[in-house]
Structure 1
Amino acid sequence: MTIAMPMSKGYPVLLPRGEVFFGRTVINMMAYEFTTKLLAKQVNPLPIWVIAAPYNIKKIQQRSFVRIDLALPVQIRETADDQTGDQAVIDAVTKDISGGGVQIVTTRQWEIGDKLLVTVNYPEIGVLTLNSEVVRVQQPQPDRVLFWVGVKFLDINEKDRGNIIKLIFKKQLELRRKGLD
């Protein structure tokens, strides 16, 4: 079996031939872990590994969408009963993005389940305003009033989701190319 050579922080993962390792893959939106052995590797024309047939294959839980760290301006408005009313707009920034939602860095702490109207200005896509729901809240430093608020998009159309996913893959490719130069 041939796979793309794994990368870490823009550099190829170095593994000696014959080494046994664990891998993950996604097939039909289901994630799997497996064990295999590195048989060979090549860099040109594409960096690949040749691996033995996987074994000890196990289904695992995984996020539905790939995430990438990307700081983008975001405006947030809390909604109540699907009405925005006169709620103040809060400016913040994303910590990371995915096709299913964003993680926002803000000084405002919301509760899990709160409904928000989130406006993100995506490069090459434009401004998207989406009904969202808070699914995770973290306070990374207890002595600071700063929160990481994970929100999932509730009503994103598939064209917009596809454009976000394309942007993420483009940014990942740019990061890998920078790391290999």
Structure 2
Amino acid sequence: MGKITEVDKFLTINQKLLLEVKVGDYTGIYDSRIDDIVGKSMHVSMPSEKGTTIPLKPNTKLHISFVMDRGRLSFKSVVEDRFMDPLPMLKVTKPEVLFREELRSFFRVDTRLPVKIMVDINEGDIVRQKMFDAKILDMSGGGCRVFTEAPISRGDIFEIFFLGNMEKLDSVKVEAKRIRKVEEHIEIGTEFCSISQHERDKVIKYVFKRQVEMRKLLG
């Protein structure tokens, strides 16, 4: 994990953030955005969930992160104040240091998520697309591990459909990087490809939420 002290190069107006609240009345992970930076504080949009504003109270501790350049930058902060006019806004402490983790090395979690995958099948001179059942065994911001009986080889690119299990993300394309035979099935290590930053943010938000769920289950 690297440490970055030149925080002003990375904390900019309109930067999208993920706010994680680990304790208190509103534990969870929420989307936010930097609206303004004033001295040693930042104004960020007050998070909401399903159209309902999450009124985080002053002194609420936050773990804030965002993804860029194939790595996650994170820092700890605290809610200093909150405003409702003209827009719901939080005033949070601006960090002096950011911590960086390489994308492929952080927050990979077990999911056991049922999905459909669409694979190109060569039938002579014709290429047909066929859907197969599959399961995502684990996932990170960089890719996922897929279990299926579909005929996939290393280097193949195929599409994963999340069947409504990924908030505001219907599907994503992946490349098969590693293949392991498991009886009549295969286990595929994949990396996301042709994925926008907005789509990756949705994946990372899901992974964060899954982490929170697992922590609660484990106590």
TM-score (norm 1): 0.55
Alignment of 1:35-50 (within 5 A): none
2:72 counterpart of 1:72: no
Mark the CA change 1:99 to 1:121 in structure 2 (over 3 Å): closer, same or farther: farther
Relative contact order (alpha carbons < 8 A, sep ≥ 6): 1 or 2 greater?
Answer: 1
**Equivalent residue, structure 2, for 1:153:** 192
2:173 counterpart of 1:131: yes
CA apart distance, 1:149: 1.0
Q: Which runs of 5+ in 1 are unaligned?
A: 1-27, 31-60
2:107 counterpart of 1:107: no
Q: Deviations over 1:26-75 (max 9, x none)?
A: xx949xxxxxxxxxxxxxxxxxxxxxxxxxxxxxx882552111122222
Letter aligned with residue 96 of structure 1: D
Q: Which runs of 5+ in 2 are unaligned?
A: 1-68, 73-101
**Equivalent residue, structure 2, for 1:93:** 135
How many residues are matched?
118
Tell me the secondary structure at the aligned position of residue 167 of structure 1.
helix
Distance 2:166 2:180 in 1: 30
Tell me the secondary structure at the aligned position of residue 89 of structure 1.
strand
Report the aligned-residue RMSD: 3.0
Distance 1:130 1:146 in 2: 22
Letter aligned with residue 140 of structure 2: S
Q: Deviations over 1:68-124 (max 9, x none)?
A: 1112222222248xxx95321111111112222221111234211012122123535
Distance 1:122 1:164 in 2: 13
Distance 1:127 1:62 in 2: 20
Letter aligned with residue 128 of structure 2: D
Counting aligned pairs with the same residue, the percent is 28
TM-score (norm 2): 0.46
After TM superposition, the runs of 4+ consecutive aligned structure 1 residues lying more than 6 A away are none
**Equivalent residue, structure 2, for 1:18:** none
2:158 counterpart of 1:116: yes
**Equivalent residue, structure 2, for 1:178:** 217
Bigger fraction of residues in strand: 2
Mark the CA change 1:163 to 1:175 in structure 2 (over 3 Å): closer, same or farther: same
